Amino acid sequence: MATCSFCDREVALTFLCYSCGKQFCVEHRLPEAHGCRAARPRIFSGFRRARPQGSTVLGSIYGSSQVGRTSVKEIKHILAAAGIFFAIELSYYVYFIAMPIYILTIFLGVLAAFLIHEYAHKLVAQSYGYWAEFRLDRMGAIISLISVISPLKIVAPGAVMIYGQFVTKEDIGRIALAGPLTNILQSFSVALLYTLVHQPTLAIVGVLLASLNADLALFNLIPFSIMDGKKIFDWSRPVWMLLFASTVVVWVYARFLSSPF
């Protein structure tokens, strides 16, 4: 947690004032809000923002565009979250620990499923002109780690944080939709590997990849709290119902395939 230099309140995300060099909460981020004699704030992609603490930009795909921007802090957070997801998925298949090929499959599958999911959120958000970066959530990460040894699995180590002046419910819904949709597509695609390939090792690989993608998609579509499902549900219930029903079908199929293992 960080502290706002104006109100001394502890917040999860602070914003840097380029004039005075201090960190402020979202309410006091603008110079006029914290009494700074700064000139007019910089403009990015049509809205005002200060670069969040720790966000040293590594690069951009389209020059000054926000699309593709990331930071060292974001990379560290997302890799830590992917590690937690890997531990959760590994707890499903403890009998594969002595089989390196399947451990490697789960590891690479988790990286692909989690990174593509979060990066899809990020790219869609940035395409709308919002600042977007993944951040670990301390409580969510702890609960997720505890679920490694519990029957109930919870995958909520963090999320892509979005900031902008004119954030709409429709934009938030579409940004939330992007993540689970990538997992559904991955799960459906690799499930075909099991049905089309008769080689045992490749078949198991297909089952593992289909299962972990289905797990991630289904959990994220729960319409509760800050989950993707709640944001999609609030934006469009028909879209959520269609996506959730499709995910349940894929998840049941993936679990049915994995039952012999």
Total number of domains in the chain:
2
Q: Is residue 158 in a domain?
A: yes
- The range of the structural domain enclosing residue 245 comes to 72-258
Q: Residue 222 half-sphere exposure, CB side, CA atoms within 13 Å?
A: 11
* Shared-domain flag, residues 120 and 220: yes
Quote the Cα angle for 196-202-203, to 5°: 55
**Distance (Å) of CA 103 to CA 109, 113, 156, 254:** 10, 15, 22, 18
Residue type for position 17: C
* Shared-domain flag, residues 13 and 130: no
* Shared-domain flag, residues 12 and 115: no
* Shared-domain flag, residues 81 and 35: no
* Shared-domain flag, residues 33 and 79: no
Q: Is residue 177 in a domain?
A: yes
Q: Is residue 191 in a domain?
A: yes
> pLDDT tens digits, residue range 171-188?
999 999 999 999 999 998
Q: Is residue 57 in a domain?
A: no
* Shared-domain flag, residues 36 and 79: no
> pLDDT tens digits, residue range 67-116?
557 788 898 999 999 999 889 888 877 766 667 888 888 889 888 999 99
The DSSP secondary-structure symbol of 66 reads S
Q: Is residue 62 in a domain?
A: no
* Shared-domain flag, residues 125 and 26: no
* Shared-domain flag, residues 123 and 17: no
> pLDDT tens digits, residue range 24-72?
776 777 776 677 654 333 333 333 344 444 443 333 333 334 555 778 8
* Shared-domain flag, residues 112 and 182: yes
